[in-house]
Amino acid sequence: MAERIKLALVGIGKIARDQHLPAIAADNAFELVAAVSRSGRVEGVPNFNDIAALIESGLPVDAVSLCTPPVGRHRIAAQALAAGLHVMLEKPPGATLAEVHQLQAQAAAGSGRSLFATWHSRHAAGVDAARAWLADKQIKQAAIVWREDIRVWHPGQEWILEAGGLGVFDPGINALSIVTSILPGALRLESAKLVFPAGRGAPIAAGLAMVLGEAAPVSADFDFRPTWPQSWDITVETDRGTLMLTEGGARLWIDGEEQRTDGIGEYPALYRRFAELVAAGRSDCDLRPMALVADAFLLGERTETDPFAF
């Protein structure tokens, strides 16, 4: 058996506890050896307040998985890469495209260091089969409806509605990560409408008008306000039938008939992929979903709605 990858988890919040820690514990390729957080702690391993303290401790570490909010993540990732560590980034991979490009260059300049910009929704059970089915189809149009209650999925996380927190694009980018993966062709934004709560720095709702190639319209309806019903659905109409992904990509339907899908789970699949990249000394950084979000902020028509409180 190959030697296990000594991993430190950075940022011990809701996503780390709900998804990362169970996935790491179930993967024999990794050994969790440390946690880094200003507030959260993980029992059974050394805990550090910041990445510098971890590096200075001399504790043997091969890789870090960063689960911090995107603003400020670049500095942590750059320090880790400079220390010779492999780096896995929770989505979105950073606060700006420029800083992630800089991390890519830094990783490429090193000796076998891996940088993995993750998109967990691409590993939902129905996504691979959806991509395969669409590969030889002509796309007529596609629609995304991604509507969820921010208070349920991000309780008390004020940072998400601050500048750089992405607001509704934090879940919306999951949908964009799926469509950029399954649709056969290049996706381009044509216009956007962004709704900001009064006094907040990030949108609580957004509508996107995109185009696949030069002909097929692709729309997106993102909203953080619904308490019920909530939906994480993608519909693609083709010349030979209609495909639907529901429940965030977990379930696949072709012409109204549900298809059998297989998978090990989104986060277990991410860590399996990270182990492959580390073993090969390669990186994986697809920034197309993030580029669409950046374009939405560039092109978006902004309106203001009522103040929002958690």
Predicted local confidence at residue 110, as pLDDT: 85
Query: What is the arrangement of strands in the sheet containing 47-48, beginning at the earlier edge strand?
Result: 47-48, 30-36, 5-10, 63-66, 86-89, 115-117
Residues serving a catalytic function are: 91
- Domains within the chain, CATH numbers bracketed: 5-117 (3.40.50.720), 121-262+294-305 (3.30.360.10)
| Contact status, residue 273 vs residue 122, Cβ threshold 8 Å | no
Strands 241-246 and 251-254: antiparallel
Scanning the structure block, which residue is given the tokens 């993030």? 290
Pairing of the two strands 187-197 and 63-66:
unpaired
Residue 210: name the closest of 236, 192, 190 by CA: 190
Query: What distance in Å separates the CA atoms of residue 12 and residue 39, rounded to the nearest whole number?
Result: 8
Q: Tell me 183's DSSP state.
A: S
At 130, which amino acid appears? A
pLDDT the model gives residue 87: 98
pLDDT in tens, the chain (310 residues): 479 999 999 999 999 999 999 999 999 999 999 999 999 999 999 999 999 999 999 999 999 999 999 999 999 999 999 999 999 999 999 999 999 999 999 999 988 899 999 999 999 999 999 999 999 999 999 999 999 999 999 999 999 999 999 999 999 999 999 999 999 999 999 999 999 999 999 999 999 999 999 889 999 999 999 988 899 999 999 999 999 999 999 999 999 999 999 889 999 999 999 999 999 999 999 999 999 999 999 999 999 999 999 9
**Spatial separation of the C-alpha atoms in residues 92 and 96, rounded to whole Å:** 9
Distance CA 17, CA 11 (A): 10
The pLDDT of residue 211 is 98
DSSP letter at 221 equals E
Please give the pLDDT value at position 263.
86
* CA 290 – CA 239 distance, rounded (Å): 29
* SS3 category, 136: coil
Residue 240 is classified by DSSP as T
Locate tokens 């570490």: which residue? 61
- The reported pTM is 0.95
